[in-house]
Amino acid sequence: MSNEAIITFAILGISIVLFISERLPADLVALLVAAALGVSGVLTPHEAFSGFSRSAIVIITSILILAHGLEQAGICEQVGNFLLRIAGKGETHLVLTVTLAGAFLSLFMNNIAAASVLLPAVLAAGRKSGVHRTRLLIPLAFGTLMGGMATLFTTTNIVASSLLREQNLPGFGVLDFAGVGLPLIIVGVGYMAIWGRRLLPAPPEEPQTPHAPRQDLVETYDLSDYLFRARMPVGSPLINQRLGESKFREKYGVTVVGIQRDQKVLLAPDLETVFLENDVLILAGEMELLLLRGAEDDFQILPLGKWQEEDLESANVGVAELMLSPRSRLMGETLEGTHFHGKYGLTVLAIWRAGRQIYVGLNDLVLQLGDALLVLGPRHRLPLFRDDPDLILLTGKEQEVPKNVKSKGWLALGIFAATLGLAAAGPLPVAEVMVCGALAMVLLRVLSIDQAYQAIEWRLVFLVAGMLPLGVAMAKTGAASLLANLLVKGLGPAGPLAMLLGLMILTVLLSQAMKGAAVAAVMVPIAIQAGRQIGAEPQSLSMGVALATSMAFITPLGHPVNILVMGEGRYRFRDYMRVGLPLTGLLLLVVMLVLPHLWPLVRH
């Protein structure tokens, strides 16, 4: 083994540990991989940063812009709403339609973007049909993952195609994945509707009924136990202070929800509201924390009562639930750092994260993908979140206002269809066609240039650009051949079909904890070398690996779309395994049956 191969294995091993531990962001790890390969001399500087010049990056950024054009024009939401309108009222039909809708949209757009577009409509359909969200959101997430298997425009499929071309092998065309991917979608959607839904967690003890009012958000967040009243006695240092200058949450660790004054209740007071003697404050948080911070002389705690959502609402003030969007600029920030209250005019009462509610320390809590925020504020502000790039309005009485297709919706649809048609036709390179389509979205004013930049998931771009050179290094140093040798010794005697299964199982295992693009960058070079050693088609084995990277069904860590629905669906890790493990086994079987017929494993 050469020194270069040893260094490559060391970089590979360290990167896998960092990916799984999540101690550093995935995109940062990928850039460190590229830099380490260059600094160590394994790759030339040109090779180390060649990922940024690959056609894969052009295709990824272009499809993100094209899909965002459809989203901004209202096309995606209309398609999702149409599918859900024809779903019927029963749980089976709704699960079937939700899974199918997720799969359909993810044929043309990023998986997590497809899920975020459909999420509000799915929740609304569930409320109208009396089907609880716990029965719908895993099917939505899994549907988007399955849809990505049938198209080239999934990140891992694009990476696989790029690595094949790097080895002077034919890459994949726009329609190449459809032959295997469509049977996978059919089988997977059928599984979710017939068997998978039976494995989903049961709804709460009091299930929704058709046409019932939406679920009480105060009860959903168990907020009643964290709401209490306190009177401001004579001599309190807060008297005649404005709420904004009192630093109330920072000083006492609780949030002012409302003020009872002169037989009236002022809900969601603004920062200019002045505290007066004998005001009764409605507070959200831990009473014990308030007392621990020496507030006995500042407040008189009043008897506790039972609270419901209607107690916090008025004609002008409402309670709603928001979720961070996939490209939200709030991720990695705090409420204090983003001046959330001043910017949106809303008070955050609680945050739901990974199955648990958080009531304390909200101002300093770093926001993450999948966080749901329970907010209180003026009703007229809530509909504005339908077009907000950072937050998705999930639940609220104003939420079900339909979003119309904008005047340039048909233009956006035409550009998208023409781009896909030209890319699939074949005469022109896919990357050039895709970038022309993205430019058309901007030149014809479907999107502004700022919106186009916002559509690009730069973390994904850096992840792919940083990991592609690792595939080059594995092939150049012989590291991929060494790993392939191990597989060939163990599985080679059993034939190409066993090799395909072994590669896919290893890929599935890695995909439960690592980003799919990183897994593809590691496994595709191994598949290419293994194919060459046993006389099997590298392209066929690489397609199996690419498909397996999308089978991130067993843990929520496998794909961001699982994390997106985890909090809102109140899911636990075991819920994903219970539903996803049989689905993974079933889809592996389908690949083993279908792929060798469409993409023969043995050269003739």
Q: How confident is the model at residue 90 (pLDDT cuts 50, 70, 90)?
A: confident
Strand-pairing partners, residue 395, are 321
pLDDT tens-digit map of 418-436: 998 888 887 778 889 999 9
Other CB atoms within a 10 A radius of the CB of residue 42 amount to 26
Write down the pLDDT at residue 205. 56
| 280-284/227-231 β-pairing | antiparallel
CB burial of 484-522 (b: ≥16 within 10 Å; e: otherwise) equals bbebbeebbeeebebbbbbbbebbbebbbbbbbbbbbbb
Evaluate if residue 223 carries a pLDDT over 90.
no
Per-residue model confidence (pLDDT) at position 242: 87
* Spatial contact of 434 and 61, defined as CB atoms under 8 Å apart: no
Residue matched to tokens 């089978």 = 551
Q: What is the pLDDT of residue 587?
A: 97
Q: Is the pLDDT of residue 22 over 80?
A: no
If one compares 490 and 315, the residue with the highest pLDDT of the two is 490
pLDDT at 401 over 50: no
Range of 249-253, 403-407, 428-432 with top mean pLDDT: 428-432
pLDDT computed for residue 208 by the predictor: 47
Mean pLDDT over 148-152 rounds to 92
Q: Give me the mean pLDDT over the 578-584 stretch.
A: 95
Beta bridge mates, 265: 260
For 83-150, the DSSP string reads HHHTS-SSHHHHHHHHHHHHHHHHTTS-HHHHHHHHHHHHHHHHHHHT--GGGTHHHHHHHHHHHGGG
- Whether 309 shows a pLDDT value over 90: the answer reads no
Mean pLDDT of the chain: 85
Q: 228 or 211: whose pLDDT is higher?
A: 228
Q: How far apart are CA 256 and CA 138, in angstroms?
A: 35
Highest mean pLDDT among 297-301, 574-578, 587-591: 587-591
Per cent of the chain over pLDDT 90 is: 30
Higher pLDDT, 584 or 122: 584
pLDDT digits 0-9 by tens, 153-170: 888 999 999 999 988 899
Q: Which helix (H) or strand (E) holds 318?
A: strand 317-324
Residue type, 575: D
pLDDT at position 577 is: 92
Q: Which residue has better confidence, 590 or 174?
A: 590
At 254 the pLDDT is: 81
The pLDDT of residue 501 is 94
The answer to whether 170 and 539 are in contact (CB under 8 A) is yes
Task: Tell me the average pLDDT across 21-32.
Answer: 87
The conformational region for residue 109 under phi > 0 = left, psi -120 to 50 = alpha, else beta, is: beta
pLDDT of residue 207: 44
Q: What pairs with residue 372 in β-bridges?
A: 323, 352
What six digits make up the tokens of 571?
A: 């899911």
What pLDDT, on the 0 to 100 scale, is given for residue 361? 80
Q: Of 291, 268, 292, nearest to 281 (Cα)?
A: 268
The pLDDT of residue 89 = 67
The CA distance from 118 to 143, in Å, is 11
Confidence of residue 318 (pLDDT cuts 50, 70, 90): confident
pLDDT range class, residue 541, cuts 50, 70, 90: very high
Q: How confident is the model at residue 576 (pLDDT cuts 50, 70, 90)?
A: very high
Name the least confident of 61-65, 297-301, 429-433.
297-301
Average of per-residue pLDDT across 467-493: 88
The per-residue pLDDT for 604 is: 60
- Letter string b/e over residues 350-373, b meaning 16 or more CB atoms within 10 A of that residue's CB: bbbbeeebebbebbebebbbbbbb
Tell the residue number behind the tokens 């997430």, with chain if given: 141
Read off the pLDDT of each residue in 2-19 and give the average, rounded to a whole number: 90
Q: How far apart are CA 342 and CA 113, in angstroms?
A: 28
- Torsion over CA: 273, 277, 283, 289 (sign): positive
- As a whole number, mean pLDDT of residues 86-104 equals 85
For 345, phi and psi rounded to 5 degrees? 70, 20
Which whole number is the average pLDDT over 216-237? 80
Give the pLDDT score at 245: 82
Q: Are 66 and 452 in contact (CB under 8 A)?
A: no
pLDDT of residue 542: 95
Of 520, 601, 599, whose CA–CA distance to 181 is shortest?
Answer: 599
Ordered by where they begin, the domains of the chain are 3-32+53-203+412-598 (no CATH), 217-311 (3.30.70.1450), 316-395 (3.30.70.1450)
For the ranges 75-84, 101-110, 159-168, 247-256, the lowest mean pLDDT is seen at: 75-84
Residue in 183, 188, 158 with CA at minimum distance from that of residue 516: 158
The pLDDT score that the predictor gives to residue 204 is: 64
- Taking the C-alpha atoms of residue 539 and residue 198, their distance in angstroms, rounded to an integer, is 37
DSSP states of 222-279:
TGGGGEEEEE--TT-TTTT-BHHHHTHHHHHS-EEEEEEETTEEEES--TTPBP-TT-
Take residue 423 and report the two structure tokens written for it.
């890319």
Name residue, tokens 């009924």. Answer: 209
More confident residue, 52 or 205: 52
Percent of the chain residues past pLDDT 70, beyond the cut: 92
